[in-house]
Amino acid sequence: MTKVLAIDGPSGAGKGTVAREVARALNWTYVDTGAMYRAVAWKARHEAIQINDEDRVAAVADAAVFELDFDRVVINGYDVTRLIRTPDMDVAAATVARMPSVRRLLVARQRDYAAAGPVVMEGRDIGTVVFPDATVKLYLDATPEERASRRAKDPTHGFSRAGEIGVVASALAIRDRLDRTRQASPLTRADDAILIETTGVPARDVVARVLGIVRERLGDETPTDGRR
Ligand code: DC
Q: Give 70's contacts (C-beta < 8 A, 6+ positions apart).
A: 20, 23, 24, 30
Closest by CA to 128, choosing from 53, 184, 68, is 184
Confidence of residue 227 (pLDDT cuts 50, 70, 90): very low
Å from CA of 225 to ligand 1 middle? 30
First to last CA, the chain: 11
Cβ atoms of 31 and 216 closer than 8 Å: no
Q: What is the pLDDT of residues 161-199, one digit of tens each?
A: 555 778 888 888 888 888 888 888 889 899 999 999 999
Complete DSSP assignment for 39-76: HHHHHHHHTT--TT-HHHHHHHHHH--EEEETTEEEET
State how far the Cα of 52 lies from the Cα of 45, in Å rounded to an integer: 11
In the predicted model, what is the mean pLDDT of residues 113-134?
A: 96
Whether residue 159 is predicted with pLDDT greater than 60 in this model: the reply is: no
Closest by CA to 176, choosing from 186, 167, 185, is 186
Cβ atoms of 18 and 203 closer than 8 Å: yes
Å from CA of 72 to ligand 1 middle? 17
Compare 157 and 3 and report the one with higher pLDDT. 3
Q: Is the CB of 127 under 6 A from ligand 1?
A: no
Closest atom, ligand 1, to C-alpha of 96: 8
Q: What is the pLDDT of residues 17-75, one digit of tens each?
A: 999 999 999 999 999 999 999 999 999 999 999 999 999 999 999 999 999 999 999 99
Q: Whose CA is nearest to atom 1 of ligand 1?
A: 34
Å from CA of 219 to ligand 1 middle? 32
Tell me, what's the pLDDT at 56? 98
> What percentage of the chain exceeds 90 in pLDDT?
74
Cβ atoms of 136 and 215 closer than 8 Å: no
Å from CA of 204 to ligand 1 middle? 24
